[in-house]
């Protein structure tokens, strides 16, 4: 069996991470309760699926030493919109949302760090560009999720009759 280059191994790991993220967000959407929360997690699932597709294209490009330009043109990677709104979270049971958001924050942090490390380690310039782009997107997801988590956590504390202050 031929050994995999460090770049290809990192891309394979990234593909798996995105696949797991996609599955997690689908499960969270299934358990989400309100339509608003379900739609947030479905959006994140779609984002992870797009990332996985993009990484599969990158894997093929690196493995076959071909130009990534067409893959970049064919992949519609978009920046995350402001998908969490306070009024949406107020309608959902805070304990469920806090748990799901906490897990999502952890996953996005790990993904962000993975892509930063992969970009620093790779010798392949096309892979570095993709990793940095994915890190930026995961950072945007993380910022949004952190805001939503903080809000949901405060709602949960209020529901429990405690004030975090």
Place of tokens 């906490």: 102
Chain segment 149-159, per-residue pLDDT in tens:
887 787 778 77
Residues sharing a CB contact under 8 Å with residue 70, sequence separation 6 or more, in sequence order: none
Specify whether the backbone of 35 is left (phi greater than 0), alpha (psi in -120 to 50) or beta. alpha
Across the chain, mean pLDDT equals 76
How many C-alpha atoms does 82 have within 13 Å on its Cβ side? Answer: 4
With 0-12 / 13-18 / 19 or more C-beta atoms within 10 angstroms meaning exposed / middle / buried, residue 98 is: buried
How far is Cα 74 from Cα 57, in angstroms, rounded to an integer? Answer: 10
Average pLDDT over residues 95-116: 84
pLDDT at 133 > cutoff 90: no
**Any idea which fold 6-160 has?**
Ferritin (1.20.1260)
Res. 81 pLDDT band, cuts 50 70 90: very low
Q: Where are the domains of the chain?
A: 6-160
């Amino acid at each position: 069996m031929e050994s995999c280059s460090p770049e290809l191994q990192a891309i394979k790991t990234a593909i798996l991470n995105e696949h797991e993220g996609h599955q997690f967000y689908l499960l969270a959407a299934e358990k989400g309760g309100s339509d608003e929360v379900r739609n947030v997690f479905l959006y994140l699932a779609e984002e992870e699926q797009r990332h996985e597709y993009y990484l599969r294209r990158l894997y093929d490009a690196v493995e076959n030493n071909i130009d990534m330009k067409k893959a970049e043109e064919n992949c519609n990677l978009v920046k995350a919109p402001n998908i969490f709104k306070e009024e949406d979270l107020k309608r959902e049971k805070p304990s469920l949302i806090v748990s799901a958001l906490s897990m999502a924050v952890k996953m996005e942090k790990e993904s962000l760090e993975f892509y930063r490390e992969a970009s620093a380690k790779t010798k392949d310039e096309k892979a570095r560009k993709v990793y940095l782009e994915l890190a930026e997107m995961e950072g945007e997801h993380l910022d949004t999720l952190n805001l939503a988590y903080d809000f949901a956590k405060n709602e949960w504390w209020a529901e429990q009759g405690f004030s975090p202050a």
